[in-house]
Structure 1
Amino acid sequence: MPSQKSTTTLRAESGQAKAPQRARGHARVAALLEAAGTEFADKGYDAATMTAIASRAGASIGSLYQFFPTKDRIAGALLESYLDILAETFHKLREAAPSLDVSLLASRLTRTFVKFRASHPAFAVLVETYSYALPRTMNIRESLRREIESVLAEVAPHLAPAEIAVRAAVIQQIMKAAVAVNGDTSIASRKAVMDELDGLMRHYLQDAIQRANLETPTSS
């Protein structure tokens, strides 16, 4: 049975494989993952089929099985690719955070999950609905919280690690609230509510920064 391969783990079967062959392999896997994302988003995990995924990718079912022998394998690889994208998003935010105005940083944090889910609708399907089939999803929230901790540590470096962990959990809940608000069509003015969440995030970040400044070591 072929082993799982993803965009980050795909390796040439032979050390003699030429670069164009490897490039074609990566492109084929990328196309399969994109097709799987569309299929999962449209039909959900249970109703999605390997045949439909192959068809969406314009590939044969044999080609799909060559890279992903089961549906949970391609779902797992898709989640890995989503996590890579999120990690890169937080990496860029972490690098920019010290130079950003607090209001802008707050707005970016509040909307990070909203924008990501809009661009990758299958993420919510796989994480929230079918975690029983994909055990690794149990660790995703914790991994994302650590990413938030790293951003907070950049703007409030003198906060104790325990306090950073607590505050990151609160920030994560505000970010999740933004996702809920964005998807709640019963709210008459979602923009106004999102602006309120921005303000809540801004005040919370300002409090963390001020607290960190109070705890800044002074030279004797």
Structure 2
Amino acid sequence: MASQNASRSGDDVRADAKPPRRERGRARVAALLDAAGAEFAEKGFDAATMTAIAARAGASIGSLYQFFPTKDVLADALLEAYLTTLIDDLGRLREAAPALDVAALAHRLARALVAFRAAHPAFAPLVETSGRSLPAVLGVRERIRAEIAAILRAKAPGMKAAEAQVRAAVVQQIMKAAVAIQGEATFAHRAAVIDELESVMKLYLDQTFEAVGLARASKR
């Protein structure tokens, strides 16, 4: 058994192994990631096991280890996939931002993380599990904040990068507050509170874009 485990740390299971080249292999990896997402969402990161994930995917444990040598590596790959989806969503909002009025932009920003977490329930346990320090975890907040800053600058091209980072952090906190309220399943007024947070977002964005406009006007 020791020799088998040792072999799993070699070329066949190294963390930087190349993704499968054939369609069948890519489909197998997708099925394994889907199963991992369901298992992490249902049981949390710590309680989920590689054996259960393989069984849920209808795959052998050897097949799982072939692509993901440890649970951390699997979780990291899944989180990276989720982040790619979220960044793509925010990227589409950045492209749309110049044509949106402030109310529409506030609506979409205030609810973006709520909608994303509802569609990807394993995201929270992967990000919030104590002790996980994988690169994908450590960079989550920074990557999201950078995308929010890009959205603000798309709407207000005159905004300086440093200012955008500060204001993006405030926007991000409002978005996180909406997520926190949505997570209080026994609170009967969640929808009303999220509506209020959207109003706060709009007021803050109005202030933000007005300040940028005034700053540009004063330099003329």
Give the length in aligned residue pairs. Answer: 209
Task: Specify whether residues 143 and 109 from structure 1 end up closer, same or farther in structure 2 by C-alpha distance, changes over 3 A only.
Answer: same
Distance in 1 (alpha carbons) for counterparts of 2:42 and 2:134: 18
Q: Does 1:82 align with 2:90?
A: no
The yes-or-no answer on 1:62 pairing with 2:62 is yes
TM-score norm. by structure 2 comes to 0.88
Structure 1 runs of 4+ aligned residues shifted over 4 Å read 217-220
Q: State how far apart, in whole Å, the 2-side matches of 1:24 and 1:43 are.
A: 28
* Structure 1 CA distance for aligned equivalents of residues 106 and 172 of structure 2: 12
Change in 2 beyond 3 A, CA 1:147/1:99: same
Q: Distance in 1 between matches of 2:76 and 2:53?
A: 14
Deviations 1:125-171 (A, max 9, x none): 01012443535412211111111101011112212222111110000
Structure 1 residue 101 displacement after superposition: 2.0
Contact 2:79 2:136 in 1 (8 A): no
**1:104 and 2:104 equivalent?**
yes
Tell me the equivalent position of 1:215: 215
- Output the TM-score relative to the length of structure 1: 0.88
Aligned residue for 2:19?
10
Q: What is the one-letter code of the residue matched to 1:10? A: P
Structure 2 residue identity aligned to 1:124: A
The residue type equivalent to 1:3 in the other structure is R
Structure 1 alignment gaps of length 5 or more: 13-21
Q: Which amino acid in 1 is paired with 2:143?
A: S
Task: Call closer, same or farther: CA 1:135–1:5 in 2, change over 3 Å.
Answer: closer
Q: Is the 8 A contact 1:112 1:175 kept in 2?
A: yes
For 1:13-24, list aligned pairs within 5 A: 22-24=22-24
1:47 aligned residue: 47
Answer with 38-47 or 131-140: which moved more: 131-140
Matched, 1:32 2:32: yes
**Residue in 2 that maps onto 1:169:** 169
Maintained 8 Å contact 2:98/2:155:
yes
Structure 2 counterpart of 1:113: 113
Contact 2:80/2:136 (CA < 8 Å) preserved in 1?
no
Shift in CA distance, 167/219, structure 1 to aligned 2, threshold 3 Å:
closer
Q: Supply the distance in 2 between the matched residues of 1:85 and 1:75 (Cα, whole angstroms).
A: 15
Question: Distance in 2 between the 1:69 and 1:132 partners?
Answer: 16
Who is 1:198 aligned against? 198
Aligned-pair CA distance for 1:219: 9.4
Q: Which amino acid aligns with 2:125?
A: V
Q: 1:131 to 1:172 in 2, by over 3 A?
A: farther
CA 1:5–1:39 in 2, change beyond 3 Å: closer, same or farther? Answer: farther
Moved more, 152-161 or 108-117: 152-161
Determine the C-alpha separation between the residues in 1 that align with 2:146 and 2:131: 20
**1:21-46 residue CA offsets vs partner (Å, 9 max, x unmatched):** x1111111111001001111111111
Following TM superposition, by how much is the alpha carbon of 1:211 offset from its aligned partner in structure 2, in angstroms?
1.3
Conservation of the 8 A alpha-carbon contact between 2:109 and 2:175: yes
Match of 2:7 in 1: none
The CA distance in 2 between the partners of 1:134 and 1:3, in whole Å, is 16
Structure 2: runs of 5 or more not aligned: 1-9
TM-superposed CA distance for 1:218, in Å, is 8.5
